[in-house]
């Protein structure tokens, strides 16, 4: 984790935001003592997760299970 002094952070906050958005961990502190962590919002991290399994799972197996369950509940003859 990178620690940035508060005076430096005040002058380059937009750059720090960009670095955090790319996944870097940054702390803001005073006199070398970290006081605040800059972290990306969960929603930006979660966005990378959606679609990660695309093309990796054979979905046809789930269609067969749906028919079997429908038969068990008498929804299909």
Whether 75 shows a pLDDT value over 60: the answer reads yes
Give the residue with greater pLDDT, 65 vs 24.
24
Model confidence pTM above 0.85: no
56 domain-assigned: yes
67 domain-assigned: yes
For the stretch 27-54, pLDDT in tens is 999 988 999 999 887 655 555 677 777 7
77 domain-assigned: no
Question: How many domains does the chain fold into?
Answer: 1
Res 47: pLDDT: 57
Domain containing 29 equals 2-72
44 domain-assigned: yes
12 domain-assigned: yes
- CATH number for position 26: 3.40.1620.10
Provide CB contacts within 8 A for 16, sequence distance 6+. 4, 9, 26, 28, 38
């Amino acid at each position: 984790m990178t620690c940035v002094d508060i005076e430096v952070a005040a002058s380059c906050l937009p750059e720090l935001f960009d670095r955090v958005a790319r996944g870097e961990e940054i702390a803001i502190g005073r006199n070398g003592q970290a006081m605040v962590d800059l972290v990306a919002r969960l929603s930006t991290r979660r966005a990378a997760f959606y679609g990660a399994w695309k093309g990796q799972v054979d979905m046809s197996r789930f269609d067969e299970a749906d028919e079997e369950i429908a038969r068990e509940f008498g929804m299909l003859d």
